[in-house]
Amino acid sequence: MRKPTFDMSIFAERRKKVGQEITGGALVVSAHPEHIRNHDVHHPYRQDSNLFYLTGWEEPESILILRPGMNPESVMFVRRRDPERETWDGFRYGPEGCEREFKIDKAYPIDEFTKVAPQLLKEVDRVYYRLYKNKELDEQMAGILQTVKQMSGRTGYGLLSIHDADTLLGEQRLIKSEYELTQMREACEISAQGHLAAMRFTRPGVTERQVQGVLAHHFYMKGSAREGYHPIVASGNAATTLHYNFNDQVCKDGDLLLIDAGAEYNYYTGDITRTFPVSGKFTDEQARVYEAVLKVQKAILDYVKPGIVFKDLHDMGTSLLTDAMLDLGLLSGRKDDLIQALAQKKYYPHGIGHWLGMDVHDAGLYYKKNEPRPLEANMCFTVEPGLYIPADDSSAPAKYRGIGIRIEDNIRVTSSGCENMTSSVPKEIADLEKVVGKA
Ligand SMILES: [Mn+2]
């Protein structure tokens, strides 16, 4: 018999907290759709972050209905036990196991969802649900809402209104609890140590795939359940392609290697990028571009504190990186005119960072009612400025062509500034040169 590995009080606490936000309503959250099987080969399944966040439940084909203040309050629909399927696909808790081990008030087989759900929703005044995540369920929900309307007879009421569940849960997930911060720090530390191992391993002649393997090996050895996302291991000019993930080249002497990789730990993920020379020694040109990006990253980290708005960090990144582009001779003209014309996007086409948590691009609003939102303590996000100068960019000084650099750390807003949760992986040139290739 399997046992859940998580403390169920964590999830009960979260359900209680979200319940306080939606009194009178109900929240419906479904499992992540199962991955399509390719010639009967299974791909690893990861639960939808919102469903896991509220239940700790990891099986596909499951739905939670939460009705704060009503009885039963937490209801789940899950796969029936099935000895034959279980010998192929593994253990299932079934409705009974769900109630007993996951402390859910009432659980039904998933095939009873459309029959039971109208009974549960007829007492509520609105429904929180995310449309367009699962088309089949959207159709079932439409039918359920219609049934609920019919059950109320000729009262004249229309369908229950639907509010967006992801916005609701995103706001709660954005501010991390102490428990979550413990998981985040561990995910960040495993990620950092993996990057260190990859740095030590790198030397001319290793392949990007081997470096990817070193990262993954380290993540799994340290208790990571999976990689947070497909890693980017990009040497030379490939680093100027933002989402390069072929990872199939040989790392050459004289090239830089950009690694963007993070480990997932207990459903929380790190997201670190480092760039360093394959040979262990920066050329003067590489060092100049690198120092420019590093200076920007540090300035932004220094600026972070509660009360400033996330958009300011974006604007600051744009402004400082445009200064760097002017300095390096990548652009010429007046800074304000260049930014007005978005000229800086040629070498810095992305934003300064994103919320980080259970998802690498985590839930939560960046703007509230069209106003950029102020930072609060225990928000976590990435700070990741970069400069990317393609090899075939004939307008850039020749000496900088083919250089792509990004430096990304994971931070938490504290009461007066920020905590860098990924500081154990070096980023100073002198420190990198001491580590790279020193297996
Ligand atoms: Mn990132």
- pLDDT for position 42: 67
- 185 C-alpha vs ligand 1 centroid, how far in Å? 16
- 215 C-alpha vs ligand 1 centroid, how far in Å? 17
Classify residue 2 as exposed, middle or buried by CB count within 10 Å of its CB (0-12, 13-18, 19+). Answer: exposed
How many helical (H) and strand (E) elements, i.e. helices and strands, does the chain have? 13, 19
- pLDDT for position 38: 57
- pLDDT for position 439: 79
Of residues 48, 99, 189, 260, which has the active-site annotation?
A: 260
- pLDDT for position 158: 85
Give the containing element (helix H, strand E) for 419: strand 418-420
- pLDDT for position 34: 78
Of residues 39, 40, 178, 334, which has the active-site annotation?
A: 40
- pLDDT for position 2: 86
Angle, helices 310-328/284-303, rounded to nearest 10 degrees = 160
CB 377 within 8 A of CB 416: no
CA–CA separation, 258 vs 235, rounded Å? 6
CA–CA separation, 63 vs 108, rounded Å? 10
Residue 350 appears among annotated catalytic residues: yes
- pLDDT for position 41: 66
- 231 C-alpha vs ligand 1 centroid, how far in Å? 11
Residue 195 appears among annotated catalytic residues: no
CA angle 217, 383, 336 (to 5 degrees): 145
As assigned by CATH, the class of the 175-435 domain is: alpha beta
CB 106 within 8 A of CB 75: yes
Of residues 48, 359, 384, 433, which has the active-site annotation?
A: 384
Length of the chain: 439
Which ranges constitute the DSSP H helices of 202-283? 208-221
CA 182, distance to chain mean position in Å, is: 16
- 363 C-alpha vs ligand 1 centroid, how far in Å? 14
- 360 C-alpha vs ligand 1 centroid, how far in Å? 7
Which ranges constitute the DSSP H helices of 238-307? 284-303
- 407 C-alpha vs ligand 1 centroid, how far in Å? 10
Could you give the count of Cα atoms lying within 13 Å of 107 in the half-sphere of its Cβ? 22
In the three-class reduction of DSSP (H, G, I as helix; E, B as strand; rest coil), residue 264 is classed as strand
Residue 218 appears among annotated catalytic residues: no
39-57: b (≥16 Cβ within 10 Å) or e: eeeeeeeebbbbbbbbbbb
CB 21 within 8 A of CB 159: no
Topology of 8-172 in CATH?
Answer: Creatine Amidinohydrolase; Chain A, domain 1 (3.40.350)
Q: What phi, psi does 302 have (nearest 5°)?
A: -65, -25
- 184 C-alpha vs ligand 1 centroid, how far in Å? 14
CA distances in angstroms from 233 to 157, 173, 224, 259, 426, listed in the order given? 56, 30, 19, 5, 17
Of residues 80, 126, 361, 373, which has the active-site annotation?
A: 361
- 244 C-alpha vs ligand 1 centroid, how far in Å? 14
Torsion (CA) 208, 210, 211, 212 in degrees, nearest 10: 90
Residue 271 appears among annotated catalytic residues: yes
Residue 43 appears among annotated catalytic residues: no
Of residues 244, 348, 388, 400, which has the active-site annotation?
A: 388
- 73 C-alpha vs ligand 1 centroid, how far in Å? 37
- Sequential pLDDT tens for the chain (439 residues): 789 989 999 999 999 999 999 999 999 999 988 765 555 666 788 999 999 999 999 999 999 999 999 999 999 999 999 999 999 989 999 999 999 999 999 999 999 999 999 999 999 999 999 999 999 999 999 999 999 999 887 777 889 999 999 999 999 999 999 999 999 999 999 999 999 999 999 999 999 999 999 999 999 999 999 999 999 999 999 999 989 989 999 999 999 999 999 999 999 999 999 999 999 999 999 999 999 999 999 999 999 999 999 999 999 999 999 999 999 999 999 999 999 999 999 999 999 999 999 999 999 999 999 999 999 999 999 999 999 999 999 999 999 999 999 999 999 999 999 999 999 999 999 999 999 999 7
Torsion (CA) 186, 190, 196, 199 in degrees, nearest 10: -140
User: Residues with Cβ within 5 Å of ion ligand 1?
Assistant: 271, 382
Task: List, as one string, the DSSP characters of 95-150.
Answer: HHHHHHHH--SEEEEGGGHHHHHHHHHTT-SEEE--TTS-HHHHHHHHHHHHHHHH
In the three-class reduction of DSSP (H, G, I as helix; E, B as strand; rest coil), residue 84 is classed as helix
* Cβ neighbours of 287 (radius 10 Å): 15
CB 168 within 8 A of CB 128: yes
Residue 260 appears among annotated catalytic residues: yes
- 193 C-alpha vs ligand 1 centroid, how far in Å? 17
CB 197 within 8 A of CB 46: no
Of residues 354, 359, 362, 409, which has the active-site annotation?
A: 354
- 78 C-alpha vs ligand 1 centroid, how far in Å? 34
Residue 366 appears among annotated catalytic residues: no
Of residues 243, 284, 371, 392, which has the active-site annotation?
A: 243
- pLDDT for position 35: 64
Beta bridge partners of 207: 250
- 322 C-alpha vs ligand 1 centroid, how far in Å? 20
CB 259 within 8 A of CB 278: no
Q: What is the DSSP letter of 433?
A: H
pTM of the shown model: 0.95
- 274 C-alpha vs ligand 1 centroid, how far in Å? 11
- pLDDT for position 152: 82
- 380 C-alpha vs ligand 1 centroid, how far in Å? 12
**Strand ranges across the sheet with 263-265:** 226-227, 263-265, 268-269
CB 428 within 8 A of CB 439: no
- pLDDT for position 157: 80
Residue 21 appears among annotated catalytic residues: no
Residue 359 appears among annotated catalytic residues: no
Per-domain residue ranges of the chain: 8-172, 175-435
Of residues 48, 359, 362, 408, which has the active-site annotation?
A: 408
Q: What is the DSSP letter of 389?
A: E
Of residues 350, 366, 393, 401, which has the active-site annotation?
A: 350
- 267 C-alpha vs ligand 1 centroid, how far in Å? 16
